[in-house]
Amino acid sequence: MSPLRSLAFAMLCCACHAGGAKSGNELEQRQHLPSEATPAAIDSTLSAARDSADLLGPIYRVLRAIGQDRPTVESRLGKPSLATRETKPDPDDSITTDTLVRWSYDQLAFTFLLVGHDVLVETRAAVDYAPIIAFGTQVATPDQAEARLGVPGATQTRGDTTVLVYTVGSLEMGWENSITLYFVRGRLVQIGALPFLD
């Protein structure tokens, strides 16, 4: 999933969560390297990318290991405290609609896309979710996230919510997953894992 498509899914999910994004939309697609990068800048960018992959890969795997469909999630976590189902326009195809099912738990939320079967679009965790709490303290603000992880693949701000999207994976190998960092009023509140989707 490209950073821009990841961002579209993330903001679609964000718009429907309590405390999510508000009106107004500012999308900024950033380049990974400046057009005239010096060798030192390239080295530091590559180093940041390696550090980012080292930090984000384990977070991605923890969030995705909970389950890939509703029966698996329910068998591990029980019934959700809140379940919703809604139809939204497909962000990539104006003539089709998507059916999204959202399950919420105390510290976790899951968004499934129904296409004859479940496709897990996003697993999202609160920053106080035990397996990721240490990571959340390292990137508590957007500035800390950029200093620690480098420039995100995409950034979007809607109202008081800012979403940074980082890539986990490899396009060369045919897949590219994303980690989404959700900041409200400049503080990290949730971390999401989005899979590669064609």
- Average pLDDT over every residue of 176-180: 88
pLDDT band, very low/low/confident/very high, at 86 (cuts 50, 70, 90): very high
* Intra-chain end-to-end CA distance of the chain, in Å: 7
Interatomic CA distance for residues 197 and 194, integer angstroms: 9
pLDDT band, very low/low/confident/very high, at 29 (cuts 50, 70, 90): very low
Task: State the average pLDDT for the chain.
Answer: 76
pLDDT band, very low/low/confident/very high, at 98 (cuts 50, 70, 90): confident
In this structure, what token pair is assigned to residue 101?
A: 């099912």
- Average pLDDT over every residue of 130-140: 90
pLDDT at position 158 over 70: yes
Report yes or no: 178 and 165 within 8 Å, Cβ to Cβ.
yes
Tell me the domain boundaries of the chain.
3-66+125-194
Collapsing DSSP to helix, strand or coil, 70 comes out as helix
Report yes or no: 69 and 112 within 8 Å, Cβ to Cβ.
yes
